[in-house]
Structure 1
Amino acid sequence: MQTQYIINGTEIAVQLAAEDAYGVGSDEVLSTKFNDITKHTDWYGAGYTTLKADDFYDPATIYSETTAAIVKIITELRPEIDLSGFTLERYHAYVDDALHGEVIKRSRRLFPADLGFDSAKILKNFSTYLGVNLSFTNPQTNTDVWMIARINKPKSHNYNTVHKDIYEAFDEHGSVPKMVNIWIPVCGVNDCSGLPMAPGSHLLPESEITRTKAGSTMNAQRYSVASIRDWGGNSNLVRENPKSDEFLIFSSHLIHGLALNNNEDETRVSFEFRLYEKL
């Protein structure tokens, strides 16, 4: 079934699978019920904000280490490709769709050490900022959580459906760990390619959110996240475009997704990860 979303006033149509069951939940606000870790911030009303990166990590290091990691993956997969002059922004000029699929498989689960991140520094800085002792370890599963590299070629369909990050845990366990989302732009992020968010959507009761459970299908591609069709009587999103020396921090209860890359000739690369309250 064709479904419309509105991003910055522009209608975006996607094809959701008719066989996926959509419904609403109970009349409760999960952000309140599970004591959202961001509730004490001055941006909790919106559910997200943009911060300067300098106090948390070095953007130049992230760019160079990401470039090195992607070059290494491509070289291992296709050593015959000449990568002289390679940049992340021009990734799409070097990688066809088949190779891109292989690169995505290898870059989807990277840990901070793979990218030159100082884990201890990051945890200390974010813990200080939120006033909570944070960790990369999910207390619900007792596993260290990786960073997800999002590599989106121009005009491609490599983007997530509209979702909340808490739903996988909630649907499986009936509870949600205290966590926060970080979205880091590496390159190619602008008015055509930022991350769409639904301001204030984390404050809506589940009875006003129409969604699937146990994954969903959009544009014939299967996703692990539960897809959200509408919320609060609308499907409006605002595209946020942090600069290269900024990043987005947001509640894991916030609705977001559909991060199309509408650039004509520039790949968008970003990283996202979650930090959890340390128990």
Structure 2
Amino acid sequence: MKARLNQQEVDYRIEGTSSPGEAGVQLAADTDLTAGNAWATAGYVVAPWLTKNENELLRNGLAELVRAALRNTGLEIAADWDVTNYHRVVGTDAARHLAVVNQTKEFPLTALPLPVTVLEARVSELCGRKVRVHNPANGQQAFHLRIVRPQITDNNPPHRDTWLDRLRHGLNIYFPVAGSTADSSLPLVPGSHWWPESQTSRTQAGAVYNGNQYSVPALASATTPLEFIRPNPGPDEVLLFSPYLLHGGAVNLNPDQTRISLEMRFWAV
């Protein structure tokens, strides 16, 4: 599938049976937590996050979770080791990387370096509605650290989270922990949260992307040109975005830095 990312052509190799979506806009029937905000049309905003001290505590604590996951695979990792060097110790060892990912793909909220209420209060302020980290569809309360090595396709394929029913009605955040730059941060298609489903074709669940299988259906094609951008939040900023936006395909083009990010989902109280 051809697309453009930051005005450069990319080709996403996606396999699996695909079909056009049904008529209608998915978000029109769901809760829109972007509504009423200046950024509702775009579907995302880059905004100041917590206090400088809280941002530092959060970032350092999350980096330590990655170090701990590496230690659990048998590596000796110092307390001050720079996690942007993740790819240097893991390399292309698929088994070790999977062992780390299996630890970092879902943490309980008690593992957060800050009380979750601090994050919930700030996201509530940014979207103008009280939200919390509690999925009403399944009761899940968790956060995720995504690790994307440079020049290796560790990232999800382009998709909407809401192609999985349990992820509808919410709002997402992306907070840079390490190695998040204009060449590695999360891409998205502004305004695509209001695209009719018939404007896209998607695979069934379990799409194969660059040889790896994922649980989420993947975007296979679109009738509108796909123009992805990387909003690229700074170290004291957060990317808040609608899960109905087309996003993903975040190939890390950094020459020598692993990208690590905090990803969380919020729903209305």
TM band (smaller chain):
over 0.9
> Compared with structure 1, are the counterparts of its residues 255 and 78 closer, same or farther at alpha carbon in structure 2 (3 Å cutoff)?
same
Give the match for residue 189 of structure 2: 198
The DSSP-based 3-state class of the residue aligned with 2:47 is strand
Match of 2:124 in 1: 127
Equivalent residue, structure 1, for 2:259: 268
Letter in 2 for 1:71: R
Tell me, in whole angstroms, the C-alpha distance in 2 between the residues paired with 1:76 and 1:136: 27
2:236 aligned with 1:237, yes or no?
A: no
Map of 1:220 onto structure 2: 211
Give the deviation of 1:57 after TM superposition: 8.3
Q: In the alignment, does 2:245 pair up with 1:254?
A: yes
Q: Pairwise CA RMSD of aligned residues?
A: 2.0
Count of matched residue positions in the alignment of Structure 1 and Structure 2: 267
Kindly, what percent of the aligned residue pairs are identical?
27
Which amino acid in structure 1 is aligned with residue 86 of structure 2?
A: Y
- Given that residues 149 and 257 in structure 2 are in contact (C-alpha distance below 8 angstroms), is that contact kept between their aligned partners in structure 1? yes
CA displacement at 1:265 relative to structure 2: 0.8
- Spell out, residue by residue over 1:98-154, the C-alpha distance to the aligned partner (whole angstroms, 9 max, x if none): 32221111111113331312112222232233232312111112x223211111111
Which residue among 68, 71, 75 is the counterpart of 1:72? 68
1:35-84 alpha-carbon deviations (Å, 9 max, x no partner): 312111110111101011125982211221122212222222205x3537
- The answer on whether the counterparts of 1:48 and 1:248 sit within 8 Å (CA) in structure 2 is yes
Question: Is this contact kept in 2: 1:166–1:253, CA < 8 A?
Answer: yes
Q: 1:268 to 1:15 in 2, by over 3 A?
A: same
Out of 146, 151, 163, the residue aligned to residue 167 of structure 1 is 163
Paired position in structure 2 for 1:36: 32
Name the CA shift for 1:86/1:216 in 2 (closer, same or farther; >3 Å): same
TM-score by length of 2: 0.92
Give 1:173's aligned residue: none
Q: Which moved more, 1:251-260 or 1:59-68?
A: 59-68
- 3-state secondary structure, aligned to 1:240: coil
Q: Which amino acid aligns with 2:194?
A: L
Distance in 2 of aligned mates of 1:251 and 1:34: 12
Change (3 A) 1:195 1:248: same
Q: Is the 8 A contact 2:49 2:122 kept in 1?
A: no
Offset of residue 208 of structure 1: 0.8
Residue in 2 that maps onto 1:92: 87
Q: Is the 8 A contact 1:56 1:126 kept in 2?
A: no
Q: Which runs of 5+ in 2 are unaligned?
A: none
Give the SS at the match of 2:164: helix
SS at match of 1:225: coil
Aligned in 2, Cα 1:191/1:121: closer, same or farther, shift over 3 Å?
A: closer
Residue of structure 2 in register with 1:62 after alignment: 58
Aligned counterparts of 1:117 and 1:231: Cα–Cα separation in 2: 40
Give distance in 1, aligned partners of 2:125 and 2:43: 19
2:11 corresponds to: 13
Q: What is the deviation of 1:28?
A: 0.8
Structure 1 residue runs of 4 or more that deviate by more than 3 Å after TM superposition: 82-85
Letter in 1 for 2:158: V
